[in-house]
Structure 1
Amino acid sequence: MTRLLYALAGADKARQFSPHVWKTVMSLAHKGLDYETMPVGFTEISGIENGGTATVPLLRDGDKLVSDSFAIALYLDEAYPDRPSLFGGQGGQAMARFIESWSQSTLHMAITRIAILDIHNLLGEADQAYFRRSREERLGASLEEIAAAGRAEIETFAKKLQPLRNMLKTQPFIGGESPLFPDYIVFGALQWLRITAGTTVLEADDPVALWFARCLDLHGGIGRRVTAG
């Protein structure tokens, strides 16, 4: 059975940077499932699988198509119950919903401001035009103005991770002794920043930085296959 993962990429198709795609990459690795990656640009998404999705990641697993990283993780746990669980039960799913909401409301907006010009510069010409138009309409400012505001985010970003830092004093992963999907949610956000901007926002000995390094090393170091920006 052929598995295909459609993944957002820049002009260099090897630079797959989407935080949501990285959640799915880590989920598939967690499950020990083989797949082929199909890199796409922003303007190519509408044409994949006969218009089967407006966003990526999109996973084709045989005849099954699943979009959205959270939905994909739920699907993988249901379809492959004999392999390591991504949630560890309904309680883990509920925890993951909270972590997803916190990550997207607190971390993603800050990373958008920090990395927005770096993301733009990773893209091919058509995708750059789409990205500039759509983000400036959505955020109500030019990319340059957003990036200028992002400089202040660099100084305060580490503080946003204090809840995670406190928890890591007692356990190595959000999931406990080993990672679960909630780890991959936050990892995806920091991996997005690492690949696009490469901006240092954590001290080397910060418990969150040490946790992130452990996540990069998971599953044969799959997180390190794309170098930092």
Structure 2
Amino acid sequence: MTILLYDLVGQDAARPFSPHCWKGKMALAHKGLDISTVPTRFLEVPSVEGGISQTVPVIRDGDKVVVDSFAIALYLDETYPDRPTLFGGEGGKAMARFIERWSQLTIHPYVTTAALVDLHAMQDEENAAYFRQSREKRLGKTLEGVVATRDAGLTAFRTALEPLRSTLSYQPFIGGAAPLFCDYIVFGALQWARVASPYPLLEDSDAVAQWFARCLDLHGGLGRQVAAA
């Protein structure tokens, strides 16, 4: 049975950009499951599956609806244990929780700073108005005022990735010899930036950039199916 994935997009339905939806998409591919994506814009999210969530991803697997990328990964491992594991056991789940917190506190704020205006430009008129109003209220600045600080913060952002960089000097993936859901968490954040903005977060020689390239190649090059901005 094909699993439905509600996937956040802007004006161009072929350019999904949400970091959380990318996590879910990579998890489904890791499991080798057939999916059908439902392109969903910001203002359409509250109507997904009868209003079950204010955010995506949301999946429908038969009669089961699951909300939130981490919950989706847990569901997939529990429901399809005969397929490749996303966590490698309870310790892997706990480690992935740490990686999720680290990514959302370290990577997400800077991607927001770097890509906010570009993300706004991806939306149609109605969704762009919503995006500007909601983000400016949340951040207390204009979108342009936020992005004006990105150059000043770039060096600090790259330095903050040193724990990941150091880990990748020992192994090709965060999960070890092969990727696990923890890899898809960080991949989703960097894919968000790649799809939304041409602003260069990383130098090509960076071990993190090289790991990201390996992740783009996973599952038949799933990440590369959407071109970089």
Scaled to the shorter chain, the TM-score interval is over 0.9
Q: Does the aligned pair in 1 maintain the 2:27–2:73 contact within 8 Å?
A: yes
Letter in 2 for 1:162: E
Is the counterpart of residue 55 in structure 1 residue 58 in structure 2?
no
Structure 1 residue aligned with 2:40: 40
Runs of 4+ with >4 A deviation: none
Q: 1:125 Cα deviation (Å)?
A: 0.8
Amino acid at match of 1:165: R
The Cα shift of 1:160 comes to 1.6
- 1:69 is matched with 69
Query: Could you say what secondary structure the match of 2:14 adopts?
Result: coil
In structure 2, the partner of 1:2 is 2
1:185: Cα distance to partner?
0.4
Range moving further from structure 2, 206-215 or 155-164: 155-164
The code of the aligned residue for 1:66 comes to: V
Q: CA separation in 1, counterparts of 2:173 and 2:15? A: 26
Residue in 1 that maps onto 2:165 = 165
Displacement of 1:153 after TM fit?
A: 2.5
For 2:142, the aligned partner's letter is S
Aligned partners of 1:114 and 1:153 also within 8 Å: no
Measure, in 2, the Cα distance between the counterparts of 1:148 and 1:206: 25
Q: CA deviation at 1:2?
A: 3.3
In the alignment, the residues of structure 2 paired with residue 31 and residue 160 of structure 1 have an alpha-carbon distance, to the nearest angstrom, of 31
Q: What's the RMSD between the two structures over aligned residues? A: 0.8
Letter in 2 for 1:74: L
**Residue correspondence of structure 1 range 161-200 to structure 2 within 5 A:** 161-200=161-200
Q: Which residue of 2 aligns with 1:96?
A: 96
Note the C-alpha offset of 1:204. 1.2
In structure 1, runs of 5+ residues without a counterpart are none
Residue number in structure 2 paired with 1:123: 123
Query: What is the 5 A alignment of 1:103-122?
Result: 103-122=103-122
User: Is the CA contact (8 Å cut-off) linking 2:2 and 2:33 kept in structure 1?
Assistant: no
What's the % identity of the aligned pairs? 60
Tell me the equivalent position of 1:207. 207
Deviation at 1:156, TM superposition (A): 2.8
Question: Following the alignment from structure 1 to structure 2, what is the Cα–Cα distance between the partners of residues 70 and 224?
Answer: 23
Following the alignment from structure 1 to structure 2, what is the Cα–Cα distance between the partners of residues 118 and 158?
Answer: 20
TM-score (norm 1): 0.98
TM score, norm. by length of structure 2? 0.98
Q: Mind listing any 5+ residue stretches in structure 2 that lack a counterpart? A: none
